[in-house]
Amino acid sequence: MAKWRCSSPISSQAQVRRLAEQALARLPRIDVLINNVGGYWNTRHVTVDGLERIFALDHLVPFLLTNLLLDRITHSAPARVITVSSNAQAMGRIRLDDLQGASAYSGAEAYNQSKLANILFTYELARRLAGTAVTANALHPGLVHTSFGAEDPGRTQRLLVPVLRPFMKSPAGGAAMSIRLAVAPELRHVSGRYFARGRPKRSARSSYDETLAARLWQTSANLVGLTLGRRQS
């Protein structure tokens, strides 16, 4: 299996589209897509596309990239799409009227919302892929010692991380659940699930709201210029 990893920072949708083009040019098959990308900023930043940065990076990048690669992934079936969410999803609320925190911003609320959006996206993707041999699952990696959020941490992070550091997983340990979802033979037919601590777990109640998922999908598609989950011609 060829492995390919994006190494340049993505800060615009044009870069996501370039990344997808490069992947499609280099990879005749895509057996596994792991959407690991994520970030946290305590203060509100806006991307070159004019979108709030956490929502743009944590939700819209996986949404757009997956959709741009979906035909290749489907033609490579059996295949798996894995999206790294967080237990922060449990505190998330999707504010369709203000997805980008334009009227009131909190880094924690933006992050929780985006991690819930990862789950709604995963469940909706699994429904859309029903009947194919492509699965879609999401996961919480655990508390992992990385530089996550270090650029612009919130007060809670500044206080808690030093205390929690001895109990955090190594980056390799944090990747274990993603890798298991990517390769475990016993999970090849499992789709539309959220995993934490090595097993399926119920996610936030609103993550099972199919109407909300469809509305978020449509809104996300509009924000990245896709029609019905496919790139506009």
Which residue lies nearer to ligand NAP by CB, 78 or 200?
A: 200
Run of H or E including 193: strand 193-196
143 binds ligand NAP (CB under 6 A): yes
Asked if 31 and 76 touch (Cβ cutoff 8 Å), the reply is yes
Cβ atoms of 81 and 30 within 8 Å: the answer is no
Which segment (70-78, 137-145, 195-203, 213-221) binds ligand NAP by CB under 6 A? 137-145
* Distance from C-alpha of 181 to C-alpha of 208, rounded to nearest angstrom: 21
Nearest-CB residue to ligand NAP?
38
Question: Hey, which residues between 147 and 206 contact ligand NAP (CB under 6 A)?
Answer: 147-148
What number of chain residues touch ligand NAP (CB under 6 A)? 18
Handedness of CA 221, 222, 226, 228 (dihedral sign): positive
CA 1 distance to own-chain centroid: 23
Catalytic residue of the set 40, 111, 123, 194: 111
Does position 68 interact with ligand NAP (CB under 6 A)? The reply is no
CB under 6 A: which stretch of 8-16, 23-31, 206-214, 223-231 binds ligand NAP? 8-16
Least distance from ligand NAP to the Cβ atom of residue 211, Å: 26
Contact window for ligand NAP (CB under 6 A) among 69-77, 145-153, 192-200, 218-226: 145-153
Beta carbon nearer to ligand NAP, 87 or 191: 87
Is residue 105 part of the annotated active site? The answer reads no
Rounded Cα–Cα distance for residues 15 and 215 (Å)? 25
CA atoms within 13 Å, Cβ hemisphere of 50: 2
| Residue 22-41 contact track with ligand NAP, rule CB under 6 A, x = bound | --------------xxxx--
**Stretch of 4-12, 68-76, 216-224, 225-233 lying at the interface with ligand NAP (CB under 6 A):** 4-12
- CA 53 to CA 210: how far, in whole Å? 26
In three-state form (DSSP H/G/I as H, E/B as E, the rest C), the secondary structure along 123-171 is: HHHHHHCCCCCEEEEEECCCCECCCCCCCCCCHHHHHHHHHHHHHCECH
User: What is the nearest approach in angstroms of ligand NAP to the Cβ of residue 86?
Assistant: 3
Structure tokens at 13: 């949708």
Point out which residues bind ligand NAP (CB under 6 A): 7, 9-11, 36-39, 57, 84, 86, 140-141, 143-144, 146-148
Q: Which residues does the annotation mark as catalytic?
A: 111
